[in-house]
Chains A and B, each alone.
Chain A
Amino acid sequence: MEILVCARRVPDTAENEIALNSAGNDVEREELVYSINEADNYAVEEALQIVGRVGGKATVITAGGEDDEEILRREMAMGANEAALISDGAFEGSDGRGLAAILKAFVQKGSYDLILTGIQAEDGAAQVGGMLAAMLDYPFASLVTSIEVLDGRKLKISREIEGGNKEINEIDLPCVLSIQTGINEPRYVGMRGIRAVASVPIPTYGATELGLDAGSVGAAAAKAKRLDYFVPEAGKGAEMLEGSREENLEKLLELLAAKGGLK
């Protein structure tokens, strides 16, 4: 099975406090810790496990700049066979559709049975996988929580739906799946593993190599454009207890008693 995983390097929201920059047109990125998008890491692990079961090859790609190469090395240290960086000034400002068009061009240069993305990145859009599938005219499923390879170029997959329920589907290959977090337990990557792939060459593909007309991607082609970031008005918000820990504990006990939390 030839598997392609589309990954992204994002600020780790679990580790970071997100604040606006002084101009108010972006979040403050100086201090942020970046890493591979969590769901994408699960997608890579899933690809490696499938290759482990049925053979084949896992390739990881990301669209971005030089800084983003580090996640490709990280995923190669995990066991990905190949990686590629998709990078071109013309790609900047692409919306989800533009990014999907760029990925489509890469997909069509190879021959992949299965394409995986993480369900969503830091923008919470959950859009690129579904768009890519529609552009390639491949079947698609989102929120995938298990994959079983069946005979006859088919997969049996489960999707996460409401109430903790799982929806079981059969899907024809080639297809695109967006992977939900928790599908597996991604393997640990140590410094030694990363050093081992530190000098492996990673090819870069730009608009020319991908045969993309620069006008069809990037900011000019975007139908959806982020104008700014802002912090929404707090509304009512929580009553913040701002005393010492001891004072906060006492106050909280009073409140719990009043609200029926202490029986």
Chain B
Amino acid sequence: MARIFAFIAHKDGVPDDSASELAAAARVIDPVASPVAIATGSGAELDAVCNSLRSSFAEVWKVANEALVYPNAELIRQALVKIIPAGSIVLVTHNHFGIDLGPGLSIKLNAAYVPDVLGIEQIEDNALRLVRQEFGGQVSAHVRCDISSGAVLTIRPGAFPAPEDARLNGTVIDKSAEAGALTARRRYLQTIVPEAGDVDITKHAVLVSVGRGIQEKENIAIAQELADALGAAVSCSRPVVDAKWLEKPRQVGSSGKTVKPKVYLACGISGAFQHLAGLKGNPFIVAINKNPKAPIFRVANVGIVDDILEFLPELTNKIREMRGVPAK
């Protein structure tokens, strides 16, 4: 069996939550494997990261280089290609960094590439049978991945729950010299944090969240009226921001805000995993969607197949009636 490596992202000296999930995925591929964590960066922060990774990995490879203070995928790829042996399996979290690193890394390692892996079902000597999703999560697919010359897999966050009993006492190995000098044709300049919007959706217990099903900007008012009646705020999924119907600070998801409401009304939202990633704290989810196959119905507590443009105004009127406010 090929050696398995897990590339670990980190911030402020702490490994990403996905580190132990990658270790769990590695153990599914090979229960007796001793997967190797790789962390890149510099200084005391990197040392702290490597030290905490010792509990879930028997071996931790450290690549220290001033050029790697910010995780630039182009530079990290150069380092990885130099230190990872041919034929290895490399696991990376599927997020904005994994998407940046993974495809090119697979080419430079001459390895197979399967992105956004949710499951690993069957292991042969030279192939893995993997589970992915397509069509926005409406259907899943089995993919056979030939690993005879290695593989790069990006792993969906949350798909491989981390074991709680990780208590290894791994060794840190310094690979900095082997990684050598690094030069970039893409240079990181800065990170821009968006200005706060008029409404802070992270502070609300009830969210009326709208997706593509709201259809046009004028219809946002329908959601706002319901939110007003409920004492809630209006949030949204990515297509609504793409279409400029609401501002970015209203977006729930991995590229938007993480929210922890008590009640979440998902209105015309299909339920892509990037959206669900922004929903924490186990809220009571109500999904209203015209498409009975929408993935949101798999995670919602209550589902209603209906047209939100008709359903929401009626709901608003019912609530107004209950409260003695005249229905419009």
List A residues at the B interface (Cβ < 8 Å): 11, 13-14, 16-20, 27, 96-97, 100, 119, 122-131, 133-135, 139-143, 156, 158-172, 175, 178, 181-182, 185, 223-232, 234-235, 237-241, 245, 248-250, 252-253, 255-256, 259-263
Contact B188 A124 (CB under 8 A): no
Q: Which residues of A contact B138 (CB under 8 A)?
A: 13, 17-18
With A13-B138, A143-B100, A227-B129 already in contact, the answer to whether A252 and B302 are too (CB < 8 A) is: yes
Contact B100 A142 (CB under 8 A): yes
5 A-B pairs whose Cβ atoms sit less than 8 Å apart in the complex:
A130-B102, A167-B191, A172-B186, A182-B244, A231-B140
Q: Which residue of A lies closest to B11 (CB)?
A: A162
Q: Which residue of B lies closest to A263 (CB)?
A: B231
Cα A231 to Cα B137 with chains together (Å): 10
Contact B144 A224 (CB under 8 A): yes
Cα A239 to Cα B287 with chains together (Å): 10
With A159-B96, A237-B297, A259-B262 already in contact, the answer to whether A229 and B134 are too (CB < 8 A) is: yes
Contact B255 A162 (CB under 8 A): yes
Cα A161 to Cα B205 with chains together (Å): 26
Cα A96 to Cα B188 with chains together (Å): 27
Q: Which residue of A lies closest to B263 (CB)?
A: A261
With A172-B185, A185-B244 already in contact, the answer to whether A245 and B190 are too (CB < 8 A) is: no
B187 at interface by CB-CB < 8 Å? yes
Report which residue of B106, B287, B322 has the largest number of chain A beta carbons within 10 angstroms of its beta carbon. B106
Cα A11 to Cα B205 with chains together (Å): 37
Chain B 295-320 interface residues, beta-carbon cutoff 8 Å to A: 297-306, 310-311, 314-315, 318-319
Contact B144 A17 (CB under 8 A): no
Q: Within the complex, what minimum Cβ distance (angstroms) separates B288 from chain A?
A: 9
Contact A175 B139 (CB under 8 A): no
Cα A252 to Cα B315 with chains together (Å): 9
Contact B107 A135 (CB under 8 A): yes
* Residue in B135, B136, B186, B206 whose CB lies within 8 Å of A169: B186
Contact A97 B106 (CB under 8 A): yes
B35 at interface by CB-CB < 8 Å? no
* Residue in B115, B144, B187 whose CB lies within 8 Å of A125: B115
Contact B141 A182 (CB under 8 A): no
Cα A118 to Cα B218 with chains together (Å): 28
Q: Which residues of B contact A232 (CB under 8 A)?
A: 140, 298
Report which residue of B113, B129, B189, B298 has the largest number of chain A beta carbons within 10 angstroms of its beta carbon. B113
Cα A175 to Cα B104 with chains together (Å): 13
Contact B104 A134 (CB under 8 A): yes
Q: Give the dominant DSSP class at A's interface.
A: mixed
**1/0 per position for B86-112, CB-CB distance to A under 8 A?**
000000000111011011111110011
Q: Which residues of A contact B305 (CB under 8 A)?
A: 240
Q: Which residues of B contact A168 (CB under 8 A)?
A: 188-192
Q: Which residue of B lies closest to A173 (CB)?
A: B185
Report which residue of B73, B114, B139, B205 has the largest number of chain A beta carbons within 10 angstroms of its beta carbon. B139
With A134-B108, A159-B96, A181-B238 already in contact, the answer to whether A165 and B193 are too (CB < 8 A) is: yes
Contact A160 B255 (CB under 8 A): yes
Contact A239 B302 (CB under 8 A): yes
**1/0 per position for B267-302, CB-CB distance to A under 8 A?**
000100000000000001111000111000111111
Contact A253 B319 (CB under 8 A): yes
Contact B113 A97 (CB under 8 A): yes
B146 at interface by CB-CB < 8 Å? yes
Contact B186 A20 (CB under 8 A): no
Contact B139 A230 (CB under 8 A): yes
Contact B112 A228 (CB under 8 A): no
Contact A96 B113 (CB under 8 A): yes
Cα A232 to Cα B142 with chains together (Å): 11
Contact A224 B114 (CB under 8 A): yes
Q: Which residues of B contact A263 (CB under 8 A)?
A: 205-206, 230-231
Question: Chain A interface: which of B22-30, B40-48, B57-65, B246-254?
Answer: B246-254
Contact B298 A27 (CB under 8 A): no
Q: Which residues of A contact B322 (CB under 8 A)?
A: 253, 262
Contact A130 B191 (CB under 8 A): no
Q: Within the complex, what minimum Cβ distance (angstroms) separates B13 from chain A?
A: 18
With A125-B116, A181-B242 already in contact, the answer to whether A169 and B189 are too (CB < 8 A) is: yes
Given A223-B146, A224-B112; 16 other pairs, CB 8 A cutoff:
A17-B138, A17-B292, A123-B134, A124-B134, A125-B116, A126-B103, A143-B255, A161-B97, A165-B193, A168-B192, A178-B99, A185-B244, A224-B146, A235-B298, A255-B302, A262-B319
Contact B114 A171 (CB under 8 A): no
Q: Which residues of A contact B256 (CB under 8 A)?
A: 163-164
Q: Which residues of A contact B143 (CB under 8 A)?
A: 224-227
B163 at interface by CB-CB < 8 Å? no
Q: Which residues of A contact B254 (CB under 8 A)?
A: 162
The 6 closest A-B pairs by CB, nearest first: A130-B103, A182-B242, A238-B303, A223-B112, A134-B104, A261-B263
Cα A181 to Cα B132 with chains together (Å): 22
Contact B257 A248 (CB under 8 A): no
Cα A60 to Cα B104 with chains together (Å): 23
Cα A123 to Cα B116 with chains together (Å): 10
Q: Within the complex, what minimum Cβ distance (angstroms) separates B135 from chain A?
A: 4
B52 at interface by CB-CB < 8 Å? no
